[in-house]
């Protein structure tokens, strides 16, 4: 696979002997502190695509985390489009910053977004969550 794009051009991808425009039209990411979007998948990424990030708790003894997924090009999530959100319960009760969570986002060729999550160094993991809204071009 070869990814080709030029300045101000629509990215195109060479897949299995033909050109395809099955790429993310906008970045996909999660909301972090202060309402900012942490980009997990960049705009122009060939689909299907999977990428992960690590996050931590923001309050002492936090046992639930709300993961909200957005797509768009702005740093502030309020200017982007909300895909959906999910609550992840049963996080270890520790001081803020001591819990390490790995979040993995996948977008398929139809724009369907899924999330896998796990607490690193623990037995806590969450099954795949399929979000209702798809990424659209």
Could you tell me the residue ranges of all domains in the chain? 2-130
Both tokens assigned to 19: 């050109």
Mean pLDDT, rounded, of the chain: 84
List the one residue out of 76, 69, 72, 78 whose CA is nearest residue 24: 72
Q: What is the pLDDT of residue 21?
A: 65
Asked if the model's pLDDT at residue 68 lies above 90, the reply is: yes
Pairing of strands 65-71, 28-32: antiparallel
Both tokens assigned to 133: 């809204």
Instruction: Give the pLDDT band (50/70/90) at residue 5.
Output: very low
Instruction: Give the pLDDT band (50/70/90) at residue 11.
Output: very low
Task: Average the pLDDT over 84-96 and give the result.
Answer: 93
Q: Which fold has domain 2-130?
A: Substrate Binding Domain Of DNAk; Chain A, domain 1 (2.60.34)
* pTM more than 0.85: no
Asked if the model's pLDDT at residue 18 lies above 50, the reply is: no
Both tokens assigned to 103: 């979040």
Q: What is the pLDDT of residue 124?
A: 84
Provide long-range contacts, Cβ within 8 A and 24+ apart, for 48-51. Answer: 48/106, 48/107, 48/108, 48/109, 49/24, 49/106, 49/107, 50/104, 50/105, 50/106, 51/104, 51/105
- Answer with the residue of higher pLDDT: 94 or 17: 94
Q: What is the pLDDT of residue 52?
A: 95
């Amino acid at each position: 696979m070869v990814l080709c794009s030029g300045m101000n051009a629509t990215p195109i991808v060479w897949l299995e002997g033909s050109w395809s425009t099955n790429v993310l039209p906008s970045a996909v990411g999660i909301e972090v502190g202060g309402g900012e979007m942490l980009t997990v998948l960049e705009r122009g990424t060939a689909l299907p695509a999977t990428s992960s990030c690590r996050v931590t708790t923001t309050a002492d003894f936090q046992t639930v985390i709300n993961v909200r997924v957005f797509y768009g090009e702005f740093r502030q999530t309020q200017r982007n489009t909300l895909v959906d959100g999910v609550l992840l319960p049963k996080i270890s009760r520790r001081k803020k910053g001591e819990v390490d969570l790995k979040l993995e986002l996948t977008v398929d060729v139809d724009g369907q977004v899924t999330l896998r999550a796990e607490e690193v160094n623990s037995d806590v993991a969450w099954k795949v969550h399929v979000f209702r809204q798809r990424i659209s071009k």
